[in-house]
Amino acid sequence: MTRFTMAALPSLLLGAAVLLCGGVAPLTAETPAERDARMAWWREARLGMFVHWGLYSGAEGVWDGKQYGGGVEWIQHYAGVPADAYAARMKPLFKPRPGFAREWARLAKEMGASYVVFTSKHHEGFALWDSKVTDFDAKDFTGRDLFKEIVAALRAEGLRVGVYFSVIDWHHPDFLVKGTGLPHPLQKHPEIADPDAGRDWNRYVRFMHQQAEEVASRYGKLDILWWDYSSKETQGDRWRAPELMAMVRRHQPRILMNNRLYHSENVSGDNLSIFDVAKGDFTTPEQHIPATGMPGVDWEACMTLNGTWGWSQHDFNWKSTETLIRNLVDIASKGGNYLINAGPLADGTIPEPIVVRFRELGAWMKQYGAAIRGTTANPVGAVEWGRITAKPDRLYLHVFQWPKDNILTVPLKDWRAVRATMLADPEQVPLAVESADGTAKITLKPAFQNPYASVVEVRVAR
C-alpha cells in the first residue's frame, strides 16, 4: 500500500463502522484530559449572560388584553394561539434596531460575563437565522440574518458564543400536539378532535436536524449549544440525540453542549445520580442553586432576573444587585456557573432595570472578579459569615455578614495562612492573622467593606 492509502485507512474503517451502525457516526471518543481541556474556558468563566429574544418579546406578557405571568416566552401556549394567527400578529411587532447586538455584547462585557447564550429559536419556532428549510425566520421578513449579527457582535467583544436551540417547535405542522409530555398551544383547544391528524414525527425530527445543522455549520466557531428541552416521554432517541450531537461535533469539535436532549432531574432538583457525560457536557439547574453544589459534575444555574425569560411589561419583581452578586458568589463557591437572563424588547433594546443591575454587578466584578473567575469550590467547609472560593494557592473569603469586632474566623483545615489582604486594598497591606488548631482569626479593615460582598484574599500553603 502506498503512504496515501495507508493514511486513508482510519477514515475508511470509520466509514465502515458508520455504515455498520446504521449511518450513525459514533460520539468522538475523548480522554478525560481532552475533555478537561475542552471544558477549561467554561469552568473558568463562572458568569454568563442569557438572552431570551424572539417574536414573543413583542407580546410583552399580554394577549388580547389579558396579562400572563410566568415565563411569557410561552405566551402562545398559555393563550392557546394557533401558529398562523400567532405569526400574523407577532411579526409586525418585531422590529430590530440597527446595532442592537453590539449593545448586548457591550453590556455582557461590562457585566463581567465571559459568554452569552442567546435564543436562536425558542418554542414558538421562529428562527433568528436565515433558514433554508422554513420561511418562519428573521431573514424572510426583516431582511436581516440576526444570528449572524449577534455572533459578530459577541466575537467583537471577545465573548464566547452560546446558542440556545429549542427542539420543541409550535410552528412546525409535524410537531405533535399530544402524548409528548411537552407543551403545545393546541392542547388548549379540546374542541379539535384529532389535533395530530396528518402530523408526522419523523418528518419533524428530520427538519429539526436540518435546522441544527444550519446553525452548526454556517456561522463559524460556536462555543456552546444549549438544547431545550425534553420530557420523560420525549427525549434522547425520540430526538435522535446521539446522531444530532455527533453531527454538531463534526462541525464544531470543541463545542460544549448541555444535556437537555435528555430529561434531567437536575433542571428542577439536585439529583446527581443521573448525570452522564454521554448525554451532554454540563447540566442546567433552572431557577435554583443546588444546596451543596454537584461535586464532580459541570453545572450551570440559569435564572431569570424577574419572573420571566422573555420580556414582560408587567413583571417588576426584579432581583436586587445584592441578590445577583450573592448568587454568583454562592454558585462559584459550589463550583458552578451562573447564567443570568436578560429579556430585550422586540426592537432588541435591553430595558433599563436590567442594564442598571448588570452594570452594578459589573462594577463589583471589575474589583472582585479575581475571586470568581478561574476559582473552584470551597475546599474547607461552610462558614456562617459568607462563602469561600479557591485557587490552588489561595482562598477568597466573601464576607456577607461583617463581624462586629472585625475579626473573621476561618477554618483552614491543614493549610496555613501565609498572607491575607483585603482584595480591594490598592496597597495590599497584610492583615493581622492569628492561627491555631486549623483555624485562622483575621482582622479585617472596615475601610474596604463592600455592601454586597467584601473579599479577603488569603494565600495558603501546606
Q: Which of 459, 454, 374 is nearest to 417 (CA)?
A: 459
Q: Judged by CB under 6 A, which stretch of 68-76, 99-107, 205-213, 237-245 contacts ligand GLC?
A: 68-76
Cβ distance to ligand GLC smaller for residue 73 or 137 = 73
**Binder among 53, 309, 338, 448 for ligand GLC (CB under 6 A):** 309
What is the identity of the amino acid at 128? Answer: L
Cβ distance to ligand GLC smaller for residue 83 or 423 = 83
Residue 27 to residue 249: CA distance in whole angstroms:
8
Q: Closest distance between ligand GLC and the C-beta of residue 310, in Å? A: 7
- Under rule CB under 6 A, residue 311 binds ligand GLC: no
Q: Closest distance between ligand GLC and the C-beta of residue 314, in Å? A: 18
- Under rule CB under 6 A, residue 315 binds ligand GLC: no
Contact 46, 398 (CB under 8 A): no
Q: Closest distance between ligand GLC and the C-beta of residue 309, in Å? A: 5
DSSP letter at 258 equals: B
Hey, which residues does 339 pair with through a beta bridge? 48, 302
Place of cell 467547609: 381
Site for ligand GLC in 108-127 (CB under 6 A): none
Cα-Cα-Cα-Cα dihedral of 61, 63, 64, 69, to 10°? -60
Instruction: Assign 450 to helix, strand or coil.
Output: coil
Q: Closest distance between ligand GLC and the C-beta of residue 302, in Å? A: 5
Cβ distance to ligand GLC smaller for residue 101 or 302 = 302
Q: Closest distance between ligand GLC and the C-beta of residue 74, in Å? A: 6
DSSP letter at 102 equals: H
- Under rule CB under 6 A, residue 229 binds ligand GLC: yes
Cβ distance to ligand GLC smaller for residue 76 or 333 = 76
Q: Closest distance between ligand GLC and the C-beta of residue 93, in Å? A: 19
> How many residues line the site for ligand GLC (CB under 6 A)?
9
Q: Closest distance between ligand GLC and the C-beta of residue 409, in Å? A: 38
Cβ distance to ligand GLC smaller for residue 46 or 52 = 52
Question: Peptide bond before 78: cis, by omega within 30 degrees of 0?
Answer: no
Residue 184 grid cell: 403545545
Mode of pairing for the β-strands spanning 386-391 and 394-399: antiparallel
DSSP string, 129-161: S--SS-S-BHHHHHSS-HHHHHHHHHHHTT-EE
Residue 28 grid cell: 468522538
Angstrom CA distances, 180 to 129, 239, 263, 322, stand at 27, 11, 12, 40
Q: Judged by CB under 6 A, which stretch of 71-79, 196-204, 291-299, 364-372 contacts ligand GLC?
A: 71-79
Q: Judged by CB under 6 A, which stretch of 67-75, 125-133, 139-147, 384-392 contacts ligand GLC?
A: 67-75
Cβ distance to ligand GLC smaller for residue 354 or 417 = 354
Residue 255 to residue 162: CA distance in whole angstroms:
9
Residue 170 grid cell: 409550535
Strand order across the beta sheet in which 224-228 lies? 256-257, 224-228, 160-166, 115-121, 47-51, 337-342, 300-303
Q: Which of 336, 307, 340 is nearest to 325 (CA)?
A: 340
What is the sign, positive or negative, of the torsion defined by CA atoms of 35, 333, 372, 359?
A: positive
Q: Closest distance between ligand GLC and the C-beta of residue 228, in Å? A: 5
- Under rule CB under 6 A, residue 73 binds ligand GLC: yes
Residue 377 to residue 336: CA distance in whole angstroms:
8
Q: Closest distance between ligand GLC and the C-beta of residue 230, in Å? A: 10
Hey, which residues does 160 pair with through a beta bridge? 115
**Binder among 54, 71, 185, 348 for ligand GLC (CB under 6 A):** 71
Contact 27, 34 (CB under 8 A): no
Residue 351 to residue 311: CA distance in whole angstroms:
9
- Under rule CB under 6 A, residue 169 binds ligand GLC: no
Q: Judged by CB under 6 A, which stretch of 69-77, 101-109, 216-224, 236-244 contacts ligand GLC?
A: 69-77
Q: Closest distance between ligand GLC and the C-beta of residue 125, in Å? A: 13
Cβ distance to ligand GLC smaller for residue 166 or 454 = 166
Residue 247 grid cell: 453531527
Site for ligand GLC in 287-306 (CB under 6 A): 302
Q: Judged by CB under 6 A, which stretch of 66-74, 146-154, 288-296, 440-448 contacts ligand GLC?
A: 66-74
Q: Closest distance between ligand GLC and the C-beta of residue 10, in Å? A: 39
Q: Closest distance between ligand GLC and the C-beta of residue 1, in Å? A: 52
Binding residues for ligand GLC (CB under 6 A): 52, 71, 73-74, 228-229, 286, 302, 309
